[in-house]
Amino acid sequence: MKNISGKNLVLIGFMGTGKTEVGRLLAESLNRRLIDTDQVIVEREGQSVKDIFASSGETYFRQKEQELIQELSVRKGLVIATGGGIVLNTENVNLLRESGYVVWLDADGDTLADRLSGDTERPLLAGGADLAALYREREALYREAAHVRVDTTEKAPLVVVSEIIRVIS
């Protein structure tokens, strides 16, 4: 097994790659606690990510995200499902890599488009944002941040969990 005992397992990736669902199932399988960073921020702020972006702006949200990553980086043995933009801040990436094993969940463009179609809660998709351009902007950041990449294209979440467990074993 890779030397991850006591380390956090961190899921990064573009929106729609399955971080939240895979994180939930992975935490159950490994008997670890799941921390979904977007959900923690939503609970603390008392409003949805979309509403935080609308009322306080993306910069405010990213600040809250960074504060949370600083808190989580001193904890051990968690599964952490991050928001898609977590890699935009190099301090976040450094803290996550130092305190955990970072798994990049990825999927092809068609799969992402299918998974995200009709989603009205993601602020960066509002107003017809160019999904492909946004992905291209972040792809290298995900690659650089990750210890390993797992493709979720056309795979059920439990299959992805099995692949992650195999990779870390």
pLDDT in tens, 89-102: 999 999 999 999 99
Q: Which two tokens stand for residue 130?
A: 């160019």
pLDDT at 46: 97
Range 8-164: architecture per CATH? 3-Layer(aba) Sandwich (3.40)
DSSP, residue by residue, 63-95: HHHHHHHHHHTT--SEEEEPPTTGGGSHHHHHH
What are the distances in angstroms from CA 154 to CA 47, 54, 109, 157? 32, 32, 11, 10
The per-residue pLDDT for range 6-56, each reduced to its tens digit, is 899 999 999 889 999 999 999 999 999 999 999 999 999 999 998 998 999
CA angle in degrees (0–180, nearest 5) for 33-37-43? 95
State the pTM of this model.
0.91
Sheet strands (E) in the chain: 8-12, 33-36, 78-81, 100-106, 148-151
- Long-range contacts made by residues 42-48, C-beta under 8 angstroms, separation at least 24? 48/121
The per-residue pLDDT for range 54-94, each reduced to its tens digit, is 999 989 999 999 999 999 999 999 999 999 999 999 999 99
Q: SS3 helix, strand, coil % of the chain, rounded to 5?
A: 55, 15, 30
